[in-house]
Chain A
């Protein structure tokens, strides 16, 4: 089973055409292994992207270097997954 320890989901809200363009270009950087949960759609619309741990630093440096602000929507994806699994187990025991 694939684990997602250290993966984060960043939320980027492009506020200019230039920022939107930069974010769209991220989709072509295959080596970063980015998983766009919400793809770039338009100005003011959130872009949510799951970032594997090894790509976190390079991506954050890239965003900051281009003056693109972001927030961290999910600090650690694996932690949420484990909560989800725990909840499912609890439910099946209840059943």
Chain B
């Protein structure tokens, strides 16, 4: 295992243990900025870790980022590791980051579905869901992006436990989802929520479960336009943006529909690279470019959140 986050290889994919070790190194190297919270336990009793970046204060407004909720989307967990190091490296010299951290905290959950992620490394690289076993179903796992209490069980999710988009027996049945729900509710002051997936190069905002536009549609669309322009400016990666239901399809029980309905106005989902050559098997040499371009888009959302307190 690397001895410091400076020798960690950000241009490679890593196992769950290596990522958890990275987190501990980052906390140990930056005790005045980074701490590690355990917000719950997964179905197979793995800890659900969230990194907190804070310059102090208590219960300050916060910016949430999660990666890896669909375990096979490896470029997202790898990007999450890169974001964590970037925040530490730039928290004083980057104007957006420095000003955000002056008044807000950042929460980053890198491995949101550890059971599924461990399974992709050991048994089935293509695994997407959680690893829960619910009575009455012959198949394992629930799609953690269909399990939220927002249009739960509606069309755009499957009631078939063997489907990749199985919504689960009831909303928040998955401990990985429930842990975030409880954290968001108990914190009560999260102002932006970004859930990162791959692939197909999209920046999406609510809703997915209904065609009714969100009240803040105009603002979210404008933010998306600026964020995508920033992302594309680095390597020319083309993104589409819009609401989930108009840009891809109807999806019920989705993360950011729930967070938006909790009052977190700046709720977004990214679908990172690939354009259609490798799919989920994006070569490791594309991790850093994908993370770098995504970071530019995240900074646009951070700046807007900072400039528009609510």
Contact = CB atoms under 8 A, between A and B. Distances in A.
Interface of A: 1-2, 4, 9, 11, 30, 35-42, 45-46, 48, 50, 73-74, 77, 80-81, 83-84, 87-88, 90-92, 94-95
A6 to B, nearest CB: 14
B12 A2 contact: no
19 contacts: A2-B124, A35-B126, A37-B199, A37-B279, A38-B199, A39-B249, A46-B276, A48-B279, A73-B277, A77-B281, A80-B278, A80-B281, A83-B283, A84-B125, A84-B284, A87-B283, A88-B12, A95-B8, A95-B9
Q: Which 10 pairs from chain A and chain B are nearest by CB?
A: A91-B12, A2-B124, A80-B281, A41-B249, A91-B9, A41-B248, A37-B279, A87-B284, A95-B2, A88-B13
Given A81-B125, A94-B9, A37 B280 contact: yes
Interface in B5-37: 7-9, 11-14, 18
A47 to B, nearest CB: 11
A46 B1 CA distance: 40
Nearest to B251: A39
Contacts of A81: 125, 281
Interface residues of B, number: 30
- SS class, residues of chain A in contact with chain B: mixed
A54 to B, nearest CB: 16
B216 interface: no
Nearest to A90: B12
Interface of B: 1-2, 7-9, 11-14, 18, 122-126, 162, 164-165, 199-200, 248-249, 276-281, 283-284
A88 B284 contact: yes
A90 to B, nearest CB: 8
B128 to A, nearest CB: 9
A34 B175 CA distance: 28
Nearest to A7: B126
A74 to B, nearest CB: 7
A46 B248 CA distance: 11
B126 A50 contact: yes
Contacts of A39: 165, 249
Contacts of A87: 12-13, 283-284
A37 B1 CA distance: 33
B101 to A, nearest CB: 30
Given A2-B124, A48-B279, A95-B9, 16 more contacts: A4-B125, A36-B164, A38-B200, A38-B279, A42-B249, A73-B277, A74-B279, A77-B281, A84-B125, A87-B12, A87-B13, A88-B12, A91-B11, A95-B1, A95-B2, A95-B7
